[in-house]
Amino acid sequence: MNIGSEFGIIFLSITTITKLLTIKGKAMGGTSKWHRRDFLLIAGILCLLIGLMGVGLAPIYAIIISITIYFGIRIFIGRRKKMIERDVGEGFCAKCGSKIENKKCPICDRKKS
């Protein structure tokens, strides 16, 4: 396989990933706003793709592995973000650091008896 066809395959995978991101963002009710971390993730996945093809792996397998890793990272980040939002809740108390519940700190705002 020559260099031109490998770059063509890489270009097709880049356009496919960007289209999937745009569709996913709009389908999930959000906007397709790009953040710096999205570009860094895509750049890292492209470097992985080029490295896998450079080692001698067939381009189709390299693309499948790269896309699988990309969506695996996105799913992992999404689940972790939801877990952090659930654990944080309304926030933390600035004085003692405990979790705020019902807009009150359970330690600082408790009634003195």
Domain spans of the chain, in order of start: 3-88
Single-letter amino acid code for the residue at 7: F
Q: So what's the pLDDT on residue 113?
A: 43
pTM above threshold 0.95: no
CA separation for the pair 86, 104 (Å, rounded): 17
Q: So what's the pLDDT on residue 65?
A: 92
Those residues with Cβ within 8 angstroms of residue 105's Cβ, 6 or more apart along the chain or in another chain: 93, 95, 96, 98
Q: So what's the pLDDT on residue 27?
A: 47
Q: So what's the pLDDT on residue 18?
A: 65
Residues of the chain with pLDDT under 70: 1-34, 111-113
Q: So what's the pLDDT on residue 32?
A: 55
